[in-house]
Every structure is written in C-alpha cells, then in structure tokens.
Amino acid sequence: MEEIVLKAERRTVIGKQVKALRRAGKLPAVIYGHHIAPVAISLDARDTGRTLAGVSGSHLITIDLEGERLTTLVRDKQRNPIRGHLTHIDFLAVSMTEKLRTSVAIELHGEAPAVKELDGVLVKGLEEVEVECLPADLPESIVVDISSLKAIGDAIYVRDLVLPAAVEVLEDADEMIVLVTAQAAEEVEEVAAAAAEPEVIEKGKKEEEIED
C-alpha cells in the first residue's frame, strides 16, 4: 500500500472562527484515538482534497504534525453540500502493533458469463466487509472476480472471499456479496415488445403503400 503523507499544523481556531480558516485555504480536522487525546489540526485544503481523492477509508494516512508522524485512518469526511469540497475530516490514530477493526470496500472485477450469455441480472449484496488485522496487513480493498458466475443462481458469499491469513473477516459467512438472477417476466416482455415494435410500424407502412 502506497504511503500517503499529509502535513498538518496544530489548530487553536475553533467554532465560528473556523470559517476564516477555510477562507485562508486551510482545512480543519481532528485526530483522535485510543492512546492520544484529541488534537485539532489544520491542513492545506487544496493539497488534501487532491491527495485523498479516490482513497478508500481503509488506506493508512500518515499525518506529519509539525515533525511528529501519526498513522491514521480517515473516519469521517464532511463536505460542502453545494460545492462538494471538503470542510472537515476526522482521523483515527492507530497503533501499528495493535489489531484494529474497520470496514474494507469490495471491488467487483471481470465479467459474469451468466449476465453476458444468459441475460442474467447482477444483484449486489454487501459493498464492504468488516475485518480485523494489524494496520500493516489492512487491504485497501477486497477484489472479487465475478467471472465464475456462469449460471443463473450462481453467487459469491463472504465465505468465498480470498484474503491473507493475517486478515480476519468478521461478517457472517453466509452474507451475499453478489448473485445472478433471471430477469423478471415483466422485463422480458418489455424487451420483446420493444424489439417487435419496429416491425409493426414497417408493416403498417407497406399496407399504406399497397392502398396507394
């Protein structure tokens, strides 16, 4: 996992005064954890937004706080509801020698033959799973290959996930990740009707031509 480092400064500005901080291009944030007292910090807003774009919640973030390096996870992001830019971040400080529990996103890769060849419908279940491991073993995401879904009714469950031995999945083994089902009868009828409609129109045109 690539190391991401964000430079931060301790922040004394709080409450309504934070608005002035944001206008100055700074992003307010807080670091908290089991072994440290909460610390209010500020980051460069533009650099932080660009650096964290597309980064999952299970990616370790190193905060360089005036020379002190803290390993953290992003626990919460607050955004401006209109413009969408970050307005505040909560970081959870973690110990590299203690196991932690967190959720890891699931990424579906490949193509399901049952969808391509049998017109099946891909139904998604869990989008993330809770795991327990040391921070160094934490996967950024869990990749699930769906090319094994060859027939209607085929599914992938939590018990089918392939993870390193150091990572323990805490979800129920029977929880569904993804399933292929048949199209509903109504959907099949709509598709058939849509396919037949051009032929009906063409037939009408030919009859008009014959009458002329």
Q: What is the mean pLDDT of residues 67-92?
A: 92
State the residue for tokens 């990740």. Answer: 177
Cross-strand bridge partners of residue 9: 42
Distance of alpha carbon 30 from alpha carbon 42, whole angstroms = 8
Q: What are phi and psi of 138, to 5 degrees?
A: -70, 120
Domain layout of the chain by residue ranges: 4-94, 101-181, 184-212
Q: Which amino acid does the sequence have at 48?
A: T
Residues whose CB is less than 8 angstroms from the CB of residue 19 and which lie 6 or more positions away in sequence, other chains included: none
| pLDDT surpassing 50 at residue 212 | no
The pTM of the full predicted model, rounded to 2 decimals, is 0.75
List, as one string, the DSSP characters of 151-167: STT-EEEGGG----TT-
Lowest-confidence region among 77-81, 122-126, 129-133: 77-81
Which CATH number describes the domain made up of 101-181? 2.170.120.20
The two tokens of residue 125 are 């279940």
CATH architecture entry for 4-94: Beta Barrel (2.40)
Compute the residue count for the chain. Answer: 212
| Band of pLDDT at residue 205, cut at 50, 70 and 90 | very low
pLDDT 10s digits, 18-72:
888 899 999 999 999 978 899 999 999 999 999 998 888 889 999 999 999 999 9
Residue-level pLDDT at 191: 47
